Structure 1
Amino acid sequence: MRHIHVIGIGTGNPEHLTVQGIRALQATDAVFALDKGDAKAGLLGLRRAICDRYIEGRPYRFVEAPDPERDRRPTDYGAAVDDWHAARAVLYESLIAEHLREDERGAFLVWGDPSLYDSTLRILERVRARGCVAFTHDVIPGITSVQALAAAHRIPLHPIGEPVRITTGRRLREGLGEGPGATVVMLDGDPRFEGLDPDLTIYWGAYLGTSDEILAAGRLGDVAEEIRRVRAEARVRHGWIMDTYLLLRPAP
């Protein structure tokens, strides 16, 4: 039966791959990747570079396909994501059926870790539920941008004994929430920091773990506009940006 490896590849540094991930990749016959257009060609190139670096001494196929279109400004966010996942499931099904023989292994290389704000596992479950192509799969964890952010700033994620909340920029606009602890924010396409306490401490990072890494930290009220300026310039320069930030409440 066909087998699929879902491999977390970290945040862009090929050395983020674990030994387990490298071994799985070296046993792979076909690597599947979604082409998200010229603006994000660098992401596709990094996946190719990882494969070329670690798959040695055996042939493999790098299979690209255009990512289905997604409504980026939907009136119903949940419905839009569901439609997008459904379209991706049809695409994944065709890729597996057409480019992977019954006795072969395929791989999806997932940015960061497959467990955190990634759709690959949910989409593969949709493919399985459709019942048109049979496969088994496993998951190899990777380094998340959350870990890479803390490592880059040389900090723990939270004060002693306090919780960590991981959320998205969309959810942050509803407020930071009550209670103690730290908040990590991911997938914030346009961080404005509106309505947040200016006395929060922010640790921000983009292109974490790569040679293009950018870091900033300080009192939110003092560094927010600088972060927005640097972020906008980097996005123009690279054509894409992935960034993450940690918010800490002021000490009582």
Structure 2
Amino acid sequence: MKKITLGLLALTPLALASCNLFNTPEPKNLDGTVVEGKITTDGAGKMTLTTSGWAGGAGQVILKSFVTAGGAPEEITRTPLTADGKFNFAELPMLADKNLSSITVGDNANCTSTLVVSDKTARGGSALFTVDAEKDGAIFIIADDNLNKQISAIYIDKASTLKGQVKCTSSGVTRTSDYDINLKAGWNALLTVVAGDNVTFTNANSYRGQKWTLLTNNVASASLKTQAIFSLR
């Protein structure tokens, strides 16, 4: 049986801003604006994201999802991208059974867990959004241009909550993940916040009307190891 685990953002710690969080279900559509982002690193190793308007021309925004561990994501649907970066999926489709897997957070010999999943029969999948235009690549909601905060769209077939903590140790480093998530059946907006070796997962206010960043410089791809929130393994 395929399994899914909640992934992390491997990012440099920055100051975190507070925000209001809600657990209401998302509307069926997803709209946004694509921008370009460049990451710079100062002498102390601190990374800063600077964004600018979209200059990659008209094209398509593509929703993809994973089927097998280590495999390439497959296209689910696409929508037009205007020359000024606007796009709108009128309705995000349900994910097929082949894109769904059971939840196995902290199911690893190197992890200890107090996490409680309210419905262990629930199955979910993650979304990857990419741009096909004069400039190509994956796009992300980097909240407030803060490299430690990302909003993601995730799908689950049954309502479920995930509450508790998972600690995993690798190469002598212990990373702590705290979960306080209320997922409705269908698509949900999830906020991931990184602070050093600590990561929190909570409901985000929305993924609609957001700024989606395409990282344009090489340091970005080397430094921002962003995984889908639900990843097959």
What TM-score comes out, normalization by structure 1 length?
0.24
Which structure would you say has the larger Rg? 1
| Larger strand share, 1 or 2 | 2
Q: Which protein, 1 or 2, shows the higher relative CO under an 8 Å CA cutoff with sep ≥ 6?
A: 2
